[in-house]
């Protein structure tokens, strides 16, 4: 079994954060989303992994994952170029996959229970594909599966106006190499993409059985800023956080706090977990870091109160206000305007930024 990890796409719903890098590298609990996928593949025994790259951030992704040896896997890079849909991306991996079965994993998706059950379930039968499903509240926004009373998949529809069920296809699939012939026969959908959901429907039409596996733990497609914040909450809630850094006497800390070795919580600061603070970051006196916050590396916080937020890193937050439910891109700086005249907020805001003042 091989792995095909999709790391292309434009990340348009995460602008401006994705103006400078691929969405798959956004950090959740101070770890790039893509790393969670590599670890899930490895845990399922899949070490031969093809990473499909789009135009955006190719070098950054290759720099992070390298040849895979740091993760105990073997990585081959495949260039998709233009983002013409998930099935197009899968089709680009045809030579890499050959006649093997493979797991296709969307590199911006994250789930807590891993993919071992999905892979094992597929391997028990003679299936054309295995899909992971989860009930969602907004089925119009996903690929949806219909199943009969015995739980067999009977139909798959991409973003249906009138969904027959609320069982969404989540971003992990297992395929036999028969899927490549189905992909060759696909026509672009209404959104101009070759849909993987349509390819699975073609496998069904060809008489293949489709295995389905309902995922009960949490799953998140990190396509939008609020999804990153939610994924960050879910991961901070679930993972072990290690305090390796320095907590000075006089600092108030409660709950679970992940503190990198070179990070410091200074005397007079208040930190309430679950929180993750990365290397070379200092939380100075008068600062409050509240639950469900991740602060990236090489940052300084002084006087600010911040909660339920993700700060990507290399940032300086020294204003005395409150920041909640926010995603701050790399090298962001939030300073005080108290001494300045005329009074008012001073903003340098990038294209597609969103501010709620």
* By the rule CB under 6 A, 170 interacts with ligand G1P: yes
In the bound state, the residue with its beta carbon closest to ligand G1P is 143
Compare residues 213 and 272 and give the one whose CB is closer to ligand G1P: 213
Interstrand relation of 167-175 and 127-135 (parallel, antiparallel or unpaired): antiparallel
Cβ of residue 130: shortest distance to ligand G1P, in angstroms?
A: 15
* By the rule CB under 6 A, 221 interacts with ligand G1P: yes
Compare residues 51 and 89 and give the one whose CB is closer to ligand G1P: 89
Choose one: 93-101, 163-171, 269-277, 349-357; the region binding ligand G1P (CB under 6 A): 163-171
Compare residues 4 and 301 and give the one whose CB is closer to ligand G1P: 4
Interstrand relation of 102-106 and 2-7 (parallel, antiparallel or unpaired): parallel
Cβ of residue 88: shortest distance to ligand G1P, in angstroms?
A: 12
Compare residues 35 and 195 and give the one whose CB is closer to ligand G1P: 195
* By the rule CB under 6 A, 143 interacts with ligand G1P: yes
Helix (H) and strand (E) counts in the chain = 8, 29
172 near 219, Cβ under 8 Å?
no
Compare residues 129 and 323 and give the one whose CB is closer to ligand G1P: 129
From the list 273, 267, 269, 270, the residue with the least C-alpha distance to 242 is 273
User: ∠ CA 126-175-131 to the nearest 5 degrees?
Assistant: 90
Q: Of the candidates 37, 78, 168, 182, which one interacts with ligand G1P according to CB under 6 A? A: 168
Burial of residue 240 (CB within 10 Å: 0-12, 13-18, 19+) is exposed
CA–CA separation, 283 and 211 (whole Å): 49
What DSSP string runs through 287-326? -EE-SSEEE-SS-EE-S-EEES-EE-SS-EE--SSEEES-
CA–CA separation, 231 and 303 (whole Å): 27
Compare residues 115 and 283 and give the one whose CB is closer to ligand G1P: 115
Q: Of the candidates 112, 197, 293, 315, which one interacts with ligand G1P according to CB under 6 A? A: 197
CA–CA separation, 299 and 311 (whole Å): 9
Binding mask 89-118 for ligand G1P (x = CB under 6 A): --------------------x---------
The tokens describing 258, both together, are: 């992940």
Choose one: 166-174, 254-262, 291-299, 303-311; the region binding ligand G1P (CB under 6 A): 166-174
Count residues near ligand G1P (CB under 6 A): 13
* By the rule CB under 6 A, 169 interacts with ligand G1P: yes
* By the rule CB under 6 A, 36 interacts with ligand G1P: no
> Containing H/E element for 231?
helix 225-238
* By the rule CB under 6 A, 198 interacts with ligand G1P: no
What residue ranges bind ligand G1P (CB under 6 A)?
86, 109, 142-143, 158, 168-171, 195, 197, 221, 223
């Amino acid at each position: 079994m091989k792995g095909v990890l999709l790391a292309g796409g434009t990340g348009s719903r995460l602008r401006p954060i994705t103006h400078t890098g691929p969405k798959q590298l956004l950090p959740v609990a101070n770890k790039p989303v893509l790393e969670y996928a590599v670890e899930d593949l490895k845990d399922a025994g899949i070490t031969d992994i093809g990473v499909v790259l789009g135009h955006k951030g190719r070098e950054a992704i290759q720099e992070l994952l390298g040849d895979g040896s740091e993760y105990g896997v073997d990585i081959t890079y495949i260039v998709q170029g233009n983002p013409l849909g998930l099935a197009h991306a899968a089709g680009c991996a045809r030579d890499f996959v050959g006649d093997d079965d493979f797991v296709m994993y969307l590199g911006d998706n994250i789930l807590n229970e891993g993919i071992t059950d999905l892979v094992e379930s597929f391997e028990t039968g003679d299936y054309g594909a295995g899909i992971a499903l989860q009930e969602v509240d907004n089925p119009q926004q996903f690929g949806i599966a219909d199943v009969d009373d015995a739980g067999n998949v009977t139909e798959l529809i991409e973003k249906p106006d009138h969904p027959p069920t609320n069982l969404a296809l989540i971003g992990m699939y297992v395929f036999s190499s028969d899927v490549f012939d189905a992909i060759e026969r696909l026509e672009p959908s209404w959104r101009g993409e070759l849909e993987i959901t349509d390819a699975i429907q073609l496998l069904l039409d060809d008489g293949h059985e489709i295995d389905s596996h309902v995922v009960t733990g949490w799953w998140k497609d990190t396509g939008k800023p609020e999804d990153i914040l939610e994924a960050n909450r879910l991961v901070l809630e679930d993972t072990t956080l290690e305090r390796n850094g320095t907590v000075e006497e006089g600092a108030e800390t409660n709950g679970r706090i992940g503190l990198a070795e070179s990070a410091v919580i200074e005397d007079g600061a208040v930190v309430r977990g679950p929180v993750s603070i990365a290397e070379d970051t200092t939380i100075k006196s008068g600062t409050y870091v509240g639950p469900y916050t991740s602060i990236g590396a090489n940052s300084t916080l002084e006087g600010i109160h911040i909660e339920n937020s993700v700060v990507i890193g290399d940032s300086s937050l020294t204003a005395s206000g409150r920041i909640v439910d926010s995603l701050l891109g790399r090298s962001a700086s939030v300073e005080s305007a108290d001494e300045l005249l005329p009074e008012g907020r001073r903003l340098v805001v990038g294209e597609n930024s969103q501010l709620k003042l």
